[in-house]
Amino acid sequence: MATTVTDIGTLIVRSPDLRGGEPRIADTGVTVKRIVGWYKLGLSAEEIADEFGHLTLAQVYAALAYYHANRAEIEAALLDEEISVQTLRIEPWSHIGRRNVS
């Protein structure tokens, strides 16, 4: 019986034209940041794989491994996202209609 071996280095990719170049699970649009967000909410890797349905447990663990190996990068991305969300909550329409008056 033949077995398939997966090079774990191929499970996480970056593409400048997808998700702003953020690290994501290969062949999907699911970012490492998104997986980490669910993980930080208390979901296990198994629960995350079940929630997404199209992701394998190996892909979820690869995303979590990437996070733990590159924690500063992912934490900075999560902080940037939180700041953006908070800004929109405070000033939801402030970016619309602004004109540069010089």
Task: Please say if the pLDDT value at position 68 is more than 90.
Answer: yes
- Give the side-chain half-sphere CA count within 13 A for 61: 5
**Residue 93: pLDDT band with limits 50, 70, 90:** low
pLDDT in tens, 10-39: 899 999 888 888 999 999 999 999 999 999
CA 42, 83, 97 angle in degrees (round to 5)? 135
Average pLDDT over residues 37-45: 95
Residue-level pLDDT at 11: 94
Alpha-carbon gap, residue 32 to 34, rounded angstroms: 5
Q: Pick 94 or 14 by higher pLDDT.
A: 14
